[in-house]
Structure 1
């Protein structure tokens, strides 16, 4: 699927739960974004903060290497570390994602970015 966008951004929202392992395979990048959002819970007391992670998927829904923070907007050194760790953990607990065969071919090896943000206060 050559038309799959190489980069997408998702504003993090507080949702409960994670990506269910027995869910139907994901067919679109919007569904991938929704699955990742469902795993995100920002740390308490961080104010207006965000971190953008960059990563690549394998066809089996796991990552090629660890995610890398590419933009961090968090006040305070300790808060910064806990926020980045929470975003990385959220992504990891969603994995592996289950891609449809067509989506798996399109996403494999491409670099994606996801923004994890605290809720607006």
Structure 2
């Protein structure tokens, strides 16, 4: 069959000539149609049929996976950028004292720069940021999540987190760490886990 099911008049006449039909017999020709029950489906390397897909492969998810998400506890988001580093800075963490040469040292250095606001107990904020090789921030940190709570406390916590990321003098990356992390998105969850 000609691609797309269409052919020019010239191509059609050539096919009919191959079948032995030409001249006056052409108008009276009755070509046999194939019996659709006996035609074998194509089993080549082209796209598989839909029924082959459903029987040959298990489903991608189970029906019970399609339930409402539990928003009462924080979970790792599925909507992160590919290659995003994800970490948590807690108020109870010990601040860093040495150079930043590993991922845990980055979070500890950010904890040292974070000035915890009053009244933000048990709240959390997540920011997405990228760093240059020397530890400076590329662009502006973006707040991607704020936990439910009083609006004033949430806003104060978000401002303190952005200030900690932007104005942290202790983010002096080692050359190898700076080269490894430069330009990569980092999602950092800041959790004020102090007890009231």
Does the pair score TM above 0.5? yes
Residue 13 (structure 1) aligns with: 91
- Aligned counterparts of 1:46 and 1:85: Cα–Cα separation in 2: 12
1:34 aligns with 2:34: no
Out of 112, 118, 127, which is 1:53 matched to? 127
Deviations along 1:16-65, whole A, 9 cap, x unmatched?
98x7xxx7542111111111111223211223100001000011110110
Aligned residues: 113
1:14 Cα deviation from its structure 2 partner: 5.0
1:99 Cα deviation from its structure 2 partner: 1.2
Give matches, 1:57-68, under 5 Å.
57-68=131-142
- Aligned counterparts of 1:76 and 1:91: Cα–Cα separation in 2: 23
TM-score between both structures, scaled by the size of structure 1: 0.79
| Structure 2 unmatched runs, 5+ | 1-82
TM-score between both structures, scaled by the size of structure 2: 0.51
- Aligned counterparts of 1:26 and 1:47: Cα–Cα separation in 2: 28
- Aligned counterparts of 1:96 and 1:38: Cα–Cα separation in 2: 8
Residue 166 (structure 2) aligns with: 92
Q: Structure 1 residues 47 and 100, CA, compared in 2 at 3 Å: closer, same or farther?
A: closer
